């Protein structure tokens, strides 16, 4: 039998309320409410996921629904068909066509703080559900 060295998974029928912390990559396909913290790991919000939580990870890939803020030390990817209501703080951001986004974006280098955006970061963009920058 092959050993699966892939990411941990929260399946479609799983509901978690509270705090999720970990030291490995995580795929969420179920419902999570609260906070998710994966300091140096990748978080994937799958197409079936319904997340009402603040997310913090090295890299975040969103395919499903997220209501909450995303804080990434690396990259955030918003794929076509996803829905995000919340603010993004990251070093890099990739948004595909037809990704739904409503919130503020801070792409400052080493964006880790939740303080008020100032200085060069005052150029943070607010996006509309169509994914366009206003």
Does some domain include residue 82?
Answer: yes
Q: What is the pTM of this model?
A: 0.78
The pLDDT assigned to 7 comes to 87
Does some domain include residue 2?
Answer: no
* 33-39: average pLDDT: 95
Average pLDDT of the chain, as a whole number: 84
The pLDDT assigned to 5 comes to 55
Closest Cα partner for 126 from 108, 104, 97?
104
Contacts of 70 (CB under 8 A, 6+ apart): 54, 55, 56, 60, 62, 76, 84, 86, 87, 88, 89, 90
Does some domain include residue 134?
Answer: no
The pLDDT assigned to 111 comes to 54
For residues 70 and 132, which has the higher predicted lDDT (pLDDT)? 70
Looking at the chain, the number of H-run helices and the number of E-run strands are: 0, 13
Does some domain include residue 112?
Answer: yes
Looking at the structure of the chain, the number of domains it has is 1
Alpha-carbon distance of 117 to 132, in angstroms, equals 21
């Amino acid at each position: 039998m092959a050993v699966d060295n892939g990411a941990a998974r929260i399946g479609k029928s799983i509901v978690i309320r509270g705090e999720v912390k970990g030291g490995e990559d995580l795929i969420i396909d179920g419902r999570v409410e609260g906070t998710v913290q994966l300091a140096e790991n990748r978080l994937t919000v799958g197409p079936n996921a319904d997340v009402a939580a603040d997310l913090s990870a090295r890299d975040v890939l969103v395919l499903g629904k997220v209501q909450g803020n995303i804080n990434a030390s690396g990259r955030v990817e918003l794929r076509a068909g996803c829905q995000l209501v919340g603010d993004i703080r990251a070093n890099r951001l990739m948004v595909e066509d037809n990704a739904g986004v409503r919130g503020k974006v801070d792409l400052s280098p080493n964006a880790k703080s939740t303080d008020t955006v100032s200085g060069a970061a005052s150029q943070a963009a607010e996006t509309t559900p169509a994914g366009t920058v206003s």
